[in-house]
C-alpha cells in the first residue's frame, strides 16, 4: 500500500510540473511584497537560458579538444549533474539510444554493453583511457571496480576506434572518466527498496595545495526478486592526483567483489557465480607534451553450474592484464599537431577449464590533426599492432568536418577496426559450448556521416548515418546440439542515430533520441547464433527533467526497444530528489508499468522497483 501511495504521489507531481513551477514564480513575487509586473518578476517570467559550458572530449582523440571540434560521434554524460536522479552509473548509459545494456540484473550485477548493434566483445571499456576489457571472456565488460561517486563523466565513442585503442573497439568505446574533486567533503548514504534491496555509499574527498584525493565505496545488496537471483556487490576506488615539476600525476586503485545467483543466465540451470576485480593505474606527465601510462588488471571468476550441487560442474578462472604506453604530441605551427606513441600489452589466464595461456602485443601509432580558419578540421591516424608469430593488424582512420554557418556542422569519417578472440573463444568447453583454437581475428570497416546543429542556446540536434562491414565475426553457431565458436564470414549493418534536446525555462530539459539498425548476414544457412542477432532494431528514448516547487528536482524517462525478431517492450522510470543543507534525499521508481522483459533471451529482469535513500554531506568551504 505504501509503494502504491508513493507511486501515485510521484505521478501527480510529474503531471503537474510545468504549471506548478510557473505558479511558484508568481507566488515568490507575491510573498515578497513585489507586484507581478515588477522588474524582478519580469526577470522570472523571461527567464534566460544560460549558455552551456564548454565540454572537452578525451575519447577518440589523442589530445583533449572541445566537443564541437571533434569529427566523430561522441556523447559526453556528466555524472555530477543532477546526480540525485540516478542510482547507479548504468542509469546514465540508459539515456543513450545507441548504447545497448544487455543486463542479467540491475546495476551491472552481470551485464554486457554494446554499441550500434555490435556484440559486447566488439565494444571496448576504458577507465581514463586505460583498457578494462577482460582477457578471459568478452562477457563482464561492465564488471568494473568503479563506484558511481568516483566518476566525473562518461564518454561514449561510437564507431571503429582501433586506431586509438587497438583490439575490441569495433562498434564503439565507453570511457569512464574520474576527476579531481572540486571541494573537500565527506558523504555517507544509504537506501532501501523492494526485493530486499539495501545500498550504502561513502565518499571522502580532499583538495589540497598541489594534490588531491578521493576515496569512494559502494555496496549493493538484494535478496532477489525470484529464487537464485540474489546478489551482493561491493566496489571501492581511490583516485589520487599530484602536481610536480614534471607535470600532473594520477594514481588509481580499485577493487570489486560480486557474488550473485545466476538462475537461467547460461541455460536452464540454477547457477551461481562470483567475480572479483583489481585495478591499478598510473598516468604521469613528462613535461608539457609527453605522457606515460601504466595499468594492471586482475579478474577472477568462479562459476558453479548447479548452485545446490557445486561438485557437478564448476570453473575457476584467473586472468591478468598489463598495459603501458608512451605518448607524445608535437605542435606544427598554429593550426596543426602531430601525435605519435608506442604501447605494449600482456595478458594471461590460469583456468581449470581453459588451461594456462599468455600472449603479448605491441603497437605504434601516428596521427596528424589540422584545424583551419575556425571552420575546417581534418584528422588522419594509423596504428600497427603486432602479436603472435609475425602477425599484425593495421588500423587507419580519417575524419573531417566543416562548419557551414553558425551552429551547423557537417562531419564524416572512415575507420578500420579489429578484435582478437578471447581465451574463452579459443579454449572453452562444457556440455553446451565448445571453443575453437583456430579462430581468426575479426575485421571491420566503419563509415559515417553526420549533420550537427548547436547554437549554444535552447536547442541542439544531430543526425548520423553509419555503415559497418564486419568480416570473420566471432560467435557461437549451434551445430547440431552444442554451440561451437566460429568465424562468421560477413555481416553488414546500416543505421541512423538522431537526437533533439530542448532547454526550457524553469530549468527544464527535454531530450528525444532514436537509433535504428538494419543488418544483413551471409553464409549462415539458417544456423542459430548465440550473440550476434540480439541487437536492437529500433531504440527510442524520451526523457524530461526539471525543478518543482520546494526546490525538488524530478525526472522521467520512457524507452521503447525492439530487438531483432523479438517483440518490442517499453520501460518507464521516474525519480524525485531534494537537497537540504547537509542531507540529500531521493526516491526512484524503475519499470513503473511492471513490464516483463528480457534484455538477454531467457533471462527475466525485475518488475516494478522502488528505492528511497538519504545521503549526509559535509563540505569544507573554501575561503
Pick from 149, 153, 148, 176: nearest CA to 78:
153
Second-level CATH architecture of 48-619? Beta Barrel (2.40)
End-to-end alpha-carbon separation of the chain, Å?
49
Q: Is the pLDDT of residue 8 over 70?
A: no
pLDDT digits (tens, 9 = 90+) for 302-333: 999 999 999 999 999 999 999 999 999 999 98
Q: What is the mean pLDDT of residues 75-95?
A: 89
Q: How far is residue 81's CA from residue 101's CA, in Å, rounded to a whole number?
A: 22
Query: Taking the complete model, does pTM exceed 0.85, yes or no?
Result: yes
Instruction: Residue 371: name the closest of 402, 330, 341, 406 by CA.
Output: 402
Q: Is 516 exposed, middle or buried (0-12, 13-18, 19+ CB in 10 A)?
A: middle
pLDDT of 485 over the 60 cut? yes
Query: What is the pLDDT at residue 14?
Result: 36
pLDDT at 317: 95
Q: Which residues pair with 509 in a beta bridge?
A: 503, 545
Pairing of strands 65-66, 56-57: antiparallel
CA distances from 426 to 56, 136, 320, 422, 485 (A): 39, 10, 17, 6, 8
Domain boundaries, the chain: 48-619
Q: What is the mean pLDDT of residues 577-588?
A: 95
Query: What are 137-186's pLDDT values in tens digits?
Result: 877 788 999 999 999 999 999 999 999 999 999 999 999 999 899 999 99
Q: Where are the alpha helices (DSSP H) in 46-153?
A: 89-93
- State the pLDDT at residue 479: 81
How many residues does this entry show for the chain?
623
Supply the pLDDT for residue 296: 98
Name every residue whose Cβ is closer than 8 Å to that of residue 48 and which is 6 or more positions away in sequence: none
Range with the lowest mean pLDDT among 46-60, 297-311, 394-408, 445-459? 46-60
Give residue-wise pLDDT tens across range 358-396. Answer: 999 999 999 999 998 888 999 999 999 999 778 999 999
DSSP 305-371: S-TT-TTTSEEEEEEEEEEEEEEEEEEETTTEEEEEEEEEEEEEEEETTTEEEEEEEEEEEEEEEEE
Helix (H) or strand (E) run with residue 24 in it: helix 2-31
pLDDT-based confidence at residue 82 (cuts at 50, 70, 90)? confident
For the segment 225-251, the average pLDDT, to the nearest whole number, is 94
- pLDDT band at residue 51, thresholds of 50, 70 and 90? low
Mean pLDDT of 555-568: 94
Amino acid at each position: 500500500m505504501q509503494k502504491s501511495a508513493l507511486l501515485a504521489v510521484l505521478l501527480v507531481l510529474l503531471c503537474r510540473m510545468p504549471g506548478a513551477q510557473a505558479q511558484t514564480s508568481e507566488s515568490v513575487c507575491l510573498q515578497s511584497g513585489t507586484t507581478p509586473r515588477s522588474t524582478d518578476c519580469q526577470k522570472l517570467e523571461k527567464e534566460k537560458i544560460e549558455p552551456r559550458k564548454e565540454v572537452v572530449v578525451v575519447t577518440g582523440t589523442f589530445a583533449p579538444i572541445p566537443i564541437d571540434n571533434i569529427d566523430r560521434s561522441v556523447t559526453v554524460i556528466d555524472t555530477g549533474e543532477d546526480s540525485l536522479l540516478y542510482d547507479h552509473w548504468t542509469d546514465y548509459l540508459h539515456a543513450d539510444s545507441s548504447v545497448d545494456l544487455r543486463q542479467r540484473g540491475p546495476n551491472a550485477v552481470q551485464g554486457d554493453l554494446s554499441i550500434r548493434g555490435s556484440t559486447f566483445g566488439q565494444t571496448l571499456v576504458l577507465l581514463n583511457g586505460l583498457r578494462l576489457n577482460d582477457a578471459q571472456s568478452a562477457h563482464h565488460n561492465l564488471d568494473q571496480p568503479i563506484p558511481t561517486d568516483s566518476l566525473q563523466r562518461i564518454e561514449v565513442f561510437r564507431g571503429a576506434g582501433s586506431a586509438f585503442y587497438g583490439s575490441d573497439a569495433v562498434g564503439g568505446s565507453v570511457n569512464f572518466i574520474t576527476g579531481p574533486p572540486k571541494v573537500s567533503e565527506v558523504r555517507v548514504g544509504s537506501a532501501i527498496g523492494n526485493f530486499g534491496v539495501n545500498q550504502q555509499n561513502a565518499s571522502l574527498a580532499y583538495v589540497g595545495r598541489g594534490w588531491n584525493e578521493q576515496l569512494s565505496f559502494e555496496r549493493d545488496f538484494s535478496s532477489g526478486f525470484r529464487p537464485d537471483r540474489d546478489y551482493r556487490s561491493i566496489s571501492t576506488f581511490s583516485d589520487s592526483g599530484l602536481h610536480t615539476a614534471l607535470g600532473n600525476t594520477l594514481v588509481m586503485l580499485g577493487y570489486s567483489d560480486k557474488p550473485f545467483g545466476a538462475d537461467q543466465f547460461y541455460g536452464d540451470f540454477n547457477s551461481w557465480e562470483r567475480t572479483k576485480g583489481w585495478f591499478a593505474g598510473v598516468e604521469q606527465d613528462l613535461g608539457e607534451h609527453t605522457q606515460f601510462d601504466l595499468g594492471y588488471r586482475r579478474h577472477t571468476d568462479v562459476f558453479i553450474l548447479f548452485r545446490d550441487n557445486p561438485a557437478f560442474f564448476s570453473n575457476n578462472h584467473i586472468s591478468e592484464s598489463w598495459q603501458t604506453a608512451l605518448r607524445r604530441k608535437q605542435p606544427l605551427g598554429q593550426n596543426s599537431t602531430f601525435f605519435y606513441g608506442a604501447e605494449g600489452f600482456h595478458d594471461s589466464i590460469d583456468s581449470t577449464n581453459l588451461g594456462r595461456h599468455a600472449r603479448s602485443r605491441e603497437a605504434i601509432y601516428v596521427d596528424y590533426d589540422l584545424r583551419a580558419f575556425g571552420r575546417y578540421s581534418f584528422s588522419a591516424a594509423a596504428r600497427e599492432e603486432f602479436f603472435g608469430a609475425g602477425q599484425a593488424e593495421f588500423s587507419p582512420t580519417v575524419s573531417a568536418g566543416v562548419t557551414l554557418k553558425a551552429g551547423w556542422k557537417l562531419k564524416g569519417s572512415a575507420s578500420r577496426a579489429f578484435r582478437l578472440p578471447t581465451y574463452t573463444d579459443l579454449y572453452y568447453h562444457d556440455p553446451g559450448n565448445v571453443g575453437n583454437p583456430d579462430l581468426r581475428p575479426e575485421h571491420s570497416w566503419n563509415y559515417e556521416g553526420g549533420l550537427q546543429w548547436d547554437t549554444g542556446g535552447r536547442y541542439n540536434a544531430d543526425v548520423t548515418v553509419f555503415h559497418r562491414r564486419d568480416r570473420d565475426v566471432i560467435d557461437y553457431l549451434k551445430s547440431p546440439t552444442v554451440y561451437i565458436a566460429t568465424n562468421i564470414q560477413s555481416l553488414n549493418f546500416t543505421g541512423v542515430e538522431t537526437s533533439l534536446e530542448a532547454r526550457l525555462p524553469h530549468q527544464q530539459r527535454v531530450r528525444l533520441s532514436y537509433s535504428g539498425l538494419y543488418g544483413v548476414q551471409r553464409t549462415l544457412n539458417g544456423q542459430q547464433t548465440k550473440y550476434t542477432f540480439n541487437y536492437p532494431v529500433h531504440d527510442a528514448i524520451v526523457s524530461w527533467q526539471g525543478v518543482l516547487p520546494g526546490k525538488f528536482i524530478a525526472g522521467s524517462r520512457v524507452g521503447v526497444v525492439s530487438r531483432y525478431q523479438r517483440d518490442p517492450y517499453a520501460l518507464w522510470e521516474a525519480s524525485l530528489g531534494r537537497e537540504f543543507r547537509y542531507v540529500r534525499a531521493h526516491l526512484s521508481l524503475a519499470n513503473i508499468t511492471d513490464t516483463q522483459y528480457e534484455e538477454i533471451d531467457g533471462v527475466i529482469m525485475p518488475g516494478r522497483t522502488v528505492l528511497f535513500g538519504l545521503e549526509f554531506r559535509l563540505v569544507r568551504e573554501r575561503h
